[in-house]
Amino acid sequence: MLIVGAGPAGLFGAYYAGFRGMSVTLVDSLPEIGGQISALYPEKAILDVAGFPVIKGRELVHALIEQASSANPTYLLDRTANALTATEDGVVMGLDDGTEVHAKVVVITAGIGKFTPRPLPAGDGWEDKGLVFFVPDFDPYVGKDVVIVGGGDSAFDWAHHLEPIAASVTLVHRRDAFRAHQATVDAVLAGRTEVITKAQVTALLGDDRVEKVEITTNDGEVLVRPAQAVVAALGFIADLSAMKDWGVEFEKRQIKVDTAMRTNLPRVFAAGDITEYDGKVRLIAVGFGEVATAINNAAPLVFPDQGVFPGHSSEGS
């Protein structure tokens, strides 16, 4: 079994493939396991995973990795799957480093595809000098002045979590309306974070590292704020071009699947946010069920003497 995408659905799929007796390899373009959760919101509280009233993103990923370890999976990280050949007998996946992975079945759990952060126009040349796009760990920001650019969930989540530990937090957004969850917006507005709207960061200032930022309002007023860290939370650009070259049928930006999570290609299944079908709901909880459906329907292709139904995990494998 080859799984493309090492986020929550992919990790649970790895466990389930092992439960069905398969060897399993996961490929991911990110350098770490966990997909968007690890890259974007590892400290965010997740409230809609069955059995956990609340669990942080990082804790969920760690638990999924531990669960998947029973399958002894092989991880091929920081590599992009860019070519796929599917036949009635098997699948060959080509990676951008020249590696070829041969599998009997592929399950695509690639979320929104390969993604890269949207650049901050004023941030050219400041990466690794105080400008970052993700905040996977809060500890480096203790006692620092932090400027966050953006108005979405990530921007407000990071502002909310950094406010108690940073020397100051300033959030800059080009509009006075926000895309973030209203409860988080209300919490940030009620705290000590300075929220500057109808404005943009127009310059990062400092010698070897960022020391302050220049903010220009729509009215032309120029403000300067201290900043040893600037977080550009401007969203990301999803790249599905490689997958679209594989011959998989898409509906807009998602892969079309049937009720067994089969794509139009032989031996190629998909699950999680990357999929589309009538009534689709994009939740982590739904992705878990979809990838279990995909693995179980793939099992007879790997082991012709097996059926789709796996038996119950409480009965042993």
- Annotated ligand binding at 245? The verdict is no
What does the DSSP 8-state code read for residue 152?
Answer: S
**How far apart are the C-alpha atoms of 66 and 15, rounded to whole Å?**
9
Residues with Cβ within 8 Å of residue 53, at least 6 apart in sequence: 47
- What does each C-alpha distance from 198 to 195, 220, 225, 261 come to in angstroms? 10, 10, 16, 44
Give the residue among 152, 190, 196, 191 at the shortest CA–CA distance from 171: 196
36 assigned to a ligand binding site? yes
Beta strand 250-251 pairing with 194-197:
unpaired
CB-facing half-sphere around the CA of 148: CA atoms within 13 A: 29
314 is in an annotated binding site: yes
Q: Parallel, antiparallel, or unpaired: how do β-strands 229-232 and 222-226 relate?
A: unpaired
Q: Is there a binding annotation on residue 115?
A: yes
273 is in an annotated binding site: yes
The binding site comprises 28, 36, 41, 81, 115, 273, 314
The binding site for FAD comprises 28, 36, 41, 81, 115, 273, 314
